[in-house]
Chains A and B, each alone.
Chain A
Amino acid sequence: MKKFLYITAVLATVALTSVSCKNEVDDLFDQSAAERVQSAVDEYTAVLTANGGKWVMEYFTTSKEPGYIYVFTFNADGSVVISGKNKWIGDVYKSEKSLWTMLSDNGPVLSLNSYNKVFHVFASPEDIPNETDEDPDETGYGHSGDYEFIFMEYTADVVRLKGKKYGASIYLRRLPADTDDKAYLGLIDDMKAKLFNSKFSKLYITNAQNERFVMTGGVNGVASFYPEAGDAITQTSSGNFIVTVDGIRFMNTVEIDHADPTAEPFRFTKFNYQEADGSLICADDNSTIITAAPFSELFADKNNTWTLTKAKITGNMLTLYNAVVSECKKKLKETFRYFQLYYSNDDQRFGLRFKSGNYYGIIFYNLNITEDNKATFTIDGSCAEGTEYYYNNLTSFKAFCDALQSTTWTVESDSRLVPSSIKFVSDNSADDSFTADL
């Protein structure tokens, strides 16, 4: 028992000595947690206001709508100028000054804490209006966009933010201090016009393996995709994107099924615009491109009507065109208006439609365009009812048609995404050309 008591006493002594008080502990950090957060707030404030405080924000709400470009100017006095142009603020350029601050309520948080009519529309709870919505049923969520953003990471020129409430990933990219907000947003409009047009609603994504995927809805900023050789119903996926001065960036990485649904999906996030041919090339693999349909498909589309613009006809073709104009005037006292490449629903055939005076005539043709963009016309003289008179009695019409089918044409366009103006250049003589405008 004595031994037990001895051991117990020793243990108690050891325990007591180890319960010594020590207010001083070695500092693992040179600042308290709160001070570190505050210094981060100060640091991020300095980042945003540095070099003129001018940034472009690539703003997203949810995956249901496109991203929106805003230009921000963060001032050290706590004010911020926000400029934008999108359908929710009337599709006109608007700019307004409001307030901003860096909070520390959820880590460093950028808060746009006074209402700005140009920007806060996406965070408002009001129902999103639409044309059929006469009596909005307020759900209280609106666009479900954020106006407060957690600072996730930054470099001197790029800040990655995360919406505090809805969590969308949003980027700020530094702009030169002398950037003109309106001019910058004009560049975005220019880019949109280069990339998407409702007349080319169906685009193709072609990857390095020459596999094609269909893309629709690009003009809305919320696109759908499916493998061309796959199932358009069960294999459709979607992705919303923002148009930037460089091209497009999707809100999240898009995953598309291959025709074989068991294969690893095809993924991409960003495409850059290629000025040289007007296509979009994938920034992820530098190979995959987005283009409109091939020329053969465009001219086989029964909804498309292409007008041969006189000002863009050259060489012998212009001579022949002028002969048509003269002969109509001379023999028929009619003013010749135009030729069009046209699909006649009545006749179920493609034809060279023209208008002379008040008369519409159609001379049928077949057009073959190969993969290497070589086009040949075949015209056998068959015409829509009533047009035979023009073809048989006005020699200039037949001469023009003969010229069309007498050569192989090389077909080209400045834009592979919006080929609304397609030039046909004769392989016999580069001086002979015409342009079909959609």
Chain B
Amino acid sequence: MKFFKYMSTISLAVAALMATTSCSDDELGDTIFPDTTTELDPNSYTYKFDKWLKQEYLDVYNLDFRYKMQDVGTDMNYNLVPAELTKAEDLALLTKYLWFDVYTKVAGSEFLKMYGPRIIHLIGSPAYNPQSGTMVLGLAEGGIKVSLFRVNELDNTNFDVMNEYYFKTMHHEFAHILHQTKTIPTEFRAISNGRYDDNNWQDQWEPRMNSLGMVTNYASSQMREDFAEVIANYITKTDAQWAYMLKMAARGWESESSEEDTSSKYYCWYYFEDNDAKNNKSYAEDSQVKEIKSSTGEVTYQLIDSHTGSVVKDSLGNPVEVYAVVDKDGVDGVAIINQKVSICRNWFKDEWGLDLDALREEVQTRQLNYNMEELRKQISDIQ
């Protein structure tokens, strides 16, 4: 027993000595990594673009705009290709004009410096998910980085497509960054709870999703995607596009199976009596129906022959009576979408001190009034 006591004492003493025999606190030596923080090379092929990016993104927002794809910054399970240089230049210009300059104007210059992403990473191709038949258009990673895909399909003459692929995606991903900083309001979480379907959202018909209070199919996948989609769509959709979406949200829907494929479902919103059809009625799509408003405001519908464009008549020569399908899903899609917008509006105001409608107005003004050639001069005029 004594032996162990001695051993313990000695061990403790040795340990104490060793502990006090610490290394001296010499200065750390030079980094083992080579210094690669060199100035931009004026002889570089991309000097003007690089300098513009430094001036407009890095120096102002501390943002690294990566247009030369780095596969280590992507999910390596996808097959991806880099962005085309000229497309990357255009997208960098438009991103600043339609996103950064908008927030700077509406929210002040500090807002994006505080909350904006630190990295924007451009990727030329989509990221395909073959099993679900979907593709990734954008990612917001860790509130720091936004990845934009499909850059090589940028067509600066087609704003609707640009909105869908890039600008809506940017606002969507930025909304994620914002709600990763300040959480989504509880009341938003409750609105459509139980209606999200993360596995089959891509198979849904978007107008039907509108009627269930979702602004897009993707919004019906998860609550947080719903939140980002409401913000992004509200900001980027034109008045006409937003009104059409609400019109769809107000409609009633019925589904039917086709004779060829009984598993398919077609969601229809008009019907007329047809003794030869199942349940004695046939369905008509929007394009087949003409809306007639009487002087008293009563609305009736006529069936239009899609080949001749004339009104379809019955055996007695009278126009076939067409009826609107009654909205029986028990969900007031318009009210829900408006409620979601209202929550987002308040969240922007209360949590961020931002006016969502002012943001929308600024984006709408800019996206309908831009001159690509003028924007490009920002790069070409760099000395």
Contacts and interface: CB of A to CB of B under 8 A. Distances in A.
B129 A140 contact: yes
A79 B47 CA distance: 11
Contacts of A77: 41, 43-45
B14 A138 contact: no
A15 interface: yes
Contact of A23 (B18, B23, B32, B124): B23
Given A101-B68, A140-B129, A34 B78 contact: no
Given A124-B125, A147-B81, A16 B26 contact: no
Interface residues of B, number: 50
B79 A123 contact: yes
B72 interface: yes
A115 B3 CA distance: 76
A8 B127 contact: no
A114 B85 contact: yes
B14 A16 contact: yes
Contacts of A35: 32-34
Interface string A136-148: 0111111010011
Given A21-B23, A77-B45, A78-B46, A1 B85 contact: no
Contact of B128 (A16, A32, A99, A125): A125
Contact of A124 (B70, B81, B83): B81
A125 B34 contact: no
Interface string A60-94: 00000000000000011111000000000000000
B251 to A, nearest CB: 29
Contacts of A21: 21-24
A165 B88 CA distance: 24
Nearest to B80: A125
Given A12-B10, A15-B14, A140 B124 contact: no
Contact of A114 (B67, B78, B79): B67
B36 interface: yes
Contact of B84 (A8, A115, A148): A115
A299 to B, nearest CB: 49
Contact of B14 (A1, A4, A12): A12
A164 B87 CA distance: 25
Contacts of A75: 45
A147 B33 contact: no
Chain B binding site: helix, strand, loop or mixed by DSSP? loop
Contact of B82 (A23, A34, A120, A142): A120
Which residue, of B44, B81, B87, has the highest number of chain A Cβ atoms within 10 A?
B81
A162 to B, nearest CB: 15
Contacts of B67: 114
Interface string A115-158: 10100100111100000000001111110100110000000000
Chain A binding site: helix, strand, loop or mixed by DSSP? loop
Interface in B141-155: 152
Contacts of B14: 12, 15-16
B79 A124 contact: yes
Contacts of B83: 114-115
Given A113-B82, A138-B128, A165 B76 contact: yes
B79 A99 contact: no
Nearest to A96: B84
A241 B17 CA distance: 70
Contacts of B33: 32, 34-35
Contact of B130 (A9, A16, A140): A140
A410 to B, nearest CB: 57
Contacts of A140: 78-79, 127-130
Given A12-B10, A16-B21, A115 B81 contact: yes
A114 B129 contact: no
A19 B41 CA distance: 49
Interface string A175-216: 000000000000000000000000000000000000000000
A329 to B, nearest CB: 62
A33 interface: yes
Interface in A253-275: none
A105 interface: yes
B21 A99 contact: no
Contacts of B18: 15-16, 19
B213 interface: no
Contacts of A165: 71, 76, 79
Contacts of A101: 68
Interface in B41-97: 41, 43-46, 67-72, 76, 78-85, 87-88
Nearest to A5: B6
A304 interface: no
Which residue, of B70, B71, B76, B78, has the highest number of chain A Cβ atoms within 10 A?
B71
A420 interface: no
B333 interface: no
B85 A99 contact: yes
A235 interface: no
A238 interface: no
Nearest to A37: B34
Contacts of A23: 23-24, 26
A237 interface: no
A134 B124 CA distance: 24
B125 A125 contact: yes
A147 B82 contact: yes
Contacts of A115: 81-85, 87, 124, 152
Contacts of B3: 1, 4
A114 B127 contact: no
A326 interface: no
Interface string A1-32: 10011001100100110011101000000001
Contacts of B88: 114
Given A16-B17, A77-B43, A126-B125, A114 B130 contact: no
A32 B32 CA distance: 6
Contacts of A34: 32-34
B127 A1 contact: no
A163 to B, nearest CB: 12
16 contacts: A1-B2, A4-B6, A12-B10, A12-B13, A19-B18, A21-B24, A34-B32, A38-B34, A78-B45, A114-B88, A120-B81, A120-B82, A123-B81, A124-B125, A125-B127, A165-B79
Interface of A: 1, 4-5, 8-9, 12, 15-16, 19-21, 23, 32-35, 38, 75-79, 98-99, 101, 103, 105, 111-115, 117, 120, 123-126, 137-142, 144, 147-148, 164-165
Given A1-B3, A124-B81, A165-B76, 15 more contacts: A12-B13, A32-B33, A35-B34, A38-B36, A79-B45, A113-B82, A115-B81, A115-B84, A115-B87, A117-B84, A120-B81, A139-B130, A140-B78, A140-B127, A147-B81
A-B CB proximity, top 3 nearest: A140-B128, A32-B32, A21-B23
Interface of B: 2-3, 6-7, 10, 13-14, 17-18, 21-24, 26, 32-34, 36, 41, 43-46, 67-72, 76, 78-85, 87-88, 124-130, 133, 135, 152
